Amino acid sequence: MKTTKRKIIFTIPFLILIFQCITDKNSVGTIDKVDDGKLSIRTSKVEYWSSQKIEFALSNFTDSTAYVHFCGDELVFIVEKKVNGVWEGPVHPPICLPSSLRSFGIEPGHYLSSAHCANLKLSNSGAYRLRVKYDWMESLVLDSTLYSNVFIVKLKKSMD
């Protein structure tokens, strides 16, 4: 039992670190498998100020390679907003020429950070989530959908 507690204590700070922005756009990180069997996308915080960069990590805790779409060097994802209890989106539709679309594999135990996307900033307040299409086979048609945790964007008060 002591070994499990120590492992959890050391793993939690490590997981917090993976949600920080990676500056090298071509790097893919390695993670400990603490949530076996899941593909996960999580933001680094649950609340952001408007126009603050929203950072996230897409983590593969499975035993298989998960494939996502990239447009050039950027992860393709959708931002959805909750309006009157219903998720609406895309807030910012991805724009990608078919010739720039490619499949990218995230190997088991690896993750992608928000460094693999344009600066994601939202100016309107509300509840949001990210949506990513993925599949377990390399293809330009991705059949499964992954949703992030819900995060809140608050309007920054002006200092008049």
Residue 50 lies in a domain: yes
Residue 159 lies in a domain: no
Residue 160 lies in a domain: no
Say whether 10 sits in a helix, a strand or coil.
helix
Q: What local confidence, expressed as pLDDT, does residue 79 receive?
A: 93
42, 59 contact by CB (below 8 A): yes
Question: Which amino acid makes up residue 82?
Answer: K
Angle among Cα 75, 77, 81 to the nearest 5 degrees reads: 150
Beta strand 47-49 pairing with 151-154 = parallel
Tell me how many domains the chain contains. 1
H or E segment at 145? strand 144-147
| Full residue range of the structural domain in which residue 16 is found | 2-154
Q: What local confidence, expressed as pLDDT, does residue 19 receive?
A: 29
Q: What local confidence, expressed as pLDDT, does residue 12 receive?
A: 32
Residue 38 lies in a domain: yes
Paired tokens of 44: 């680094």
CATH of the domain at 20: 2.60.40.1930
Say whether 128 sits in a helix, a strand or coil.
strand
Where do runs of H (alpha helix) occur along 19-97?
A: none
User: How many other C-beta atoms lie within 10 A of the C-beta of residue 19?
Assistant: 17
Question: Using CA atoms, how far apart are residues 81 and 77, in angstroms rounded to an integer?
Answer: 13
Q: What local confidence, expressed as pLDDT, does residue 150 receive?
A: 96
Q: What local confidence, expressed as pLDDT, does residue 37 receive?
A: 65
Q: What local confidence, expressed as pLDDT, does residue 136 receive?
A: 94
Question: Using CA atoms, how far apart are residues 106 and 53, in angstroms rounded to an integer?
Answer: 23
- Which of 19, 41, 52 has its CA nearest to residue 153? 52
Residues of the chain scoring pLDDT < 50: 3-35, 160
Question: Using CA atoms, how far apart are residues 45 and 58, in angstroms rounded to an integer?
Answer: 14
